C-alpha cells in the first residue's frame, strides 16, 4: 500500500468520525428546537434547515474523493456522483448569509422585522437559497468534460475556470457573512457601553462565532482556491491538500456542540428534554426578555458554518 492510499484512508477515517458525531449533533439540534417552543424562532427554523444541509454535505464529503478510492474518473462521471453535494454546499453557503442577515435586520429594525408576514418571510429566505444553488449546480454540469481528474471533488469536477468561479462565489458569500458579523459585533459593543453588560457578553459570543467561522469554513475555501491556482504539485503537497476536508468537516459538524458550550439557555433546555428529573425548569418563560438573547446567541452556532460547508 503506497503513501497516497494510506493518506486517503486517514482522511476517510476522520471524515467518518465527523459524519457520525456531526450527524448526531445536527439531529439533536433539530430535535431540541422541535421539542421546546421557547427556542422556536424564525432564525432557529433557518438553522434547522442549515443543519439538514450540513448532514447532507457531510455525506457528500464521503463521496468527495473517497468513494472513488483507487479509481480514476473523468469530470462528467465524477459530477454525476457528487452533483447533490455541489447543490447542498451552495445552498448552505447562501443560507448562512440569510441567517446572519435575519439577525441583523431583527437587531437593527425590530418593528419592521415583526411586521413581515410568514409567507413573505418564507419567500424572501428560500428564494435566494434555492435559486443560487440550482444555478450553480446546473452551471457545474455544463462545465464538465471527459478529461481525467486526480480526485472526484467539487474543485476538480468543474473545468479549472468554472472551479475558480465556484470557489469565488462561496468566498463571496463568506465575505458577506464576515462583514455582517463585524456589524453585529459593533452594534452589541455600542449597546454594551450605553445600556447593559448583556450586550457585551453577546458581543464576545459573536467574536467567538466569527473566529470559528473564519478558521473552518472561510480558510477551507481560501485553501481550496489556492489549490486550484497551482498547475503542478508534488506527491507530498497532494497528500497535504487532501486534508483541507478537515476544515469543511469541522464547519459542518460544530453547530450543536458550540451551542451547548456557549448558550446556557440551550443547555438548560437540552437537559430538561433528556434528563428532566435533574433539572428544575421554570413553568413560565418570559419571552420578551429571552428573545433578544436567543436571537443574538444563535450566532454562536451559525459557522456552516454553516452550517456550509459548505
154-193 pLDDT, tens digit each: 878 888 888 888 989 999 999 999 999 889 888 877 776 5
pLDDT classification of 281: cutoffs 50, 70, 90: very low
| Neighbouring-strand partners of residue 74 | 148
Q: Which range (113-117, 266-270, 294-298) has the least confidence?
A: 294-298
Residue with cell 493518506: 7
**Which pLDDT does position 193 carry in this prediction?**
53
pLDDT of residue 214: 83
Lowest mean pLDDT segment, chosen from 61-70, 176-185, 221-230: 61-70
CB atoms within 10 A of CB 267: 14
Encode pLDDT of 93-111 as tens digits. Answer: 999 999 999 989 988 898 9
DSSP bridge partners of 148: 74
Q: How confident is the model at residue 275 (pLDDT cuts 50, 70, 90)?
A: confident
Q: What pLDDT, on a 0 to 100 scale, did the predictor assign at position 18?
A: 94
Q: Where are the domains of the chain?
A: 3-286+296-301
CATH class of segment(s) 3-286+296-301: mainly alpha
Residue 309 in this model has a pLDDT that exceeds 70: no
- CA nearest neighbour of 308 among 239, 213, 210, 202: 213
3-state secondary structure the chain: CCHHHHHHHHHHHHHHHHHHHHHHHHHHHHHHHHHCHHHCCHHHHHHHHHHHHHHHHHHHHHHCCCCCCCCCCEHHHHHHHHHHHHHHHHHHHHHHHHHHHHHHHHHHCHHHHHHCCHHHHHHHHHHHHHHHHHHHHHHHHHCCCCCECCCCCHHHHCCHHHHHHHHHHHHHHHHHHHHHHHHHHHHHHHHHHHCCHHHHHHHHHHHHHHHHHHHHHHHHHHHHHHHHHCCCCCHHHHHHHHHHHHHHHHHHHCHHHHHHHHCHHHHHHHHHHHCHHHCCCCCCCCHHHHHHHHHHHHHHHCCCCCCCCC
- List the grid coordinates of 243: 486534508
Cβ atoms within 10 Å, residue 181 = 23
Amino acid at each position: 500500500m503506497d503513501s497516497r492510499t494510506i493518506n486517503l484512508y486517514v482522511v476517510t477515517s476522520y471524515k467518518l468520525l465527523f459524519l457520525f458525531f456531526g450527524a448526531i449533533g445536527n439531529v439533536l439540534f433539530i430535535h431540541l428546537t422541535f421539542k421546546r417552543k421557547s427556542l422556536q424562532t424564525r432564525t432557529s427554523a433557518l438553522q434547522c434547515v442549515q443543519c439538514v444541509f450540513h448532514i447532507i454535505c457531510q455525506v457528500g464529503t464521503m463521496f468527495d474523493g473517497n468513494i472513488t478510492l483507487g479509481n480514476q474518473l473523468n469530470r462528467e462521471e465524477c459530477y454525476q456522483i457528487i452533483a447533490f453535494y455541489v447543490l447542498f454546499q451552495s445552498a448552505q453557503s447562501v443560507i448562512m448569509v440569510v441567517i446572519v442577515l435575519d439577525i441583523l435586520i431583527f437587531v437593527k429594525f425590530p418593528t419592521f422585522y415583526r411586521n413581515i408576514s410568514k409567507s413573505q418571510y418564507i419567500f424572501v429566505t428560500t428564494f435566494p437559497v434555492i435559486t443560487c444553488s440550482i444555478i450553480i449546480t446546473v452551471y457545474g454540469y455544463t462545465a464538465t468534460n471527459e478529461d481525467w481528474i486526480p480526485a472526484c471533488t467539487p474543485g476538480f469536477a468543474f473545468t479549472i475556470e468554472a472551479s475558480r468561479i465556484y470557489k469565488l462565489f462561496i468566498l463571496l458569500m463568506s465575505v458577506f457573512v464576515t462583514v455582517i458579523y463585524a456589524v453585529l459585533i459593533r452594534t452589541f459593543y455600542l449597546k454594551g457601553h450605553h445600556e447593559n453588560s448583556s450586550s457585551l457578553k453577546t458581543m464576545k459570543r459573536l467574536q467567538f462565532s466569527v473566529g470559528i467561522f473564519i478558521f473552518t469554513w472561510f480558510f477551507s475555501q481560501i485553501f481550496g482556491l489556492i489549490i486550484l491556482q497551482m498547475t503542478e504539485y508534488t506527491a507530498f503537497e497532494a497528500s497535504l491538500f487532501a486534508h483541507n476536508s478537515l476544515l469543511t468537516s469541522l464547519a459542518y459538524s460544530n453547530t450543536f456542540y458550540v451551542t451547548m458550550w456557549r448558550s446556557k439557555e440551550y443547555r438548560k433546555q437540552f437537559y430538561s428534554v433528556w434528563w428532566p428529573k435533574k433539572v428544575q425548569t421554570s413553568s413560565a418563560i418570559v419571552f420578551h426578555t429571552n428573545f433578544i438573547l436567543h436571537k443574538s446567541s444563535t450566532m454562536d452556532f451559525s459557522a456552516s458554518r454553516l452550517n456550509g460547508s459548505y
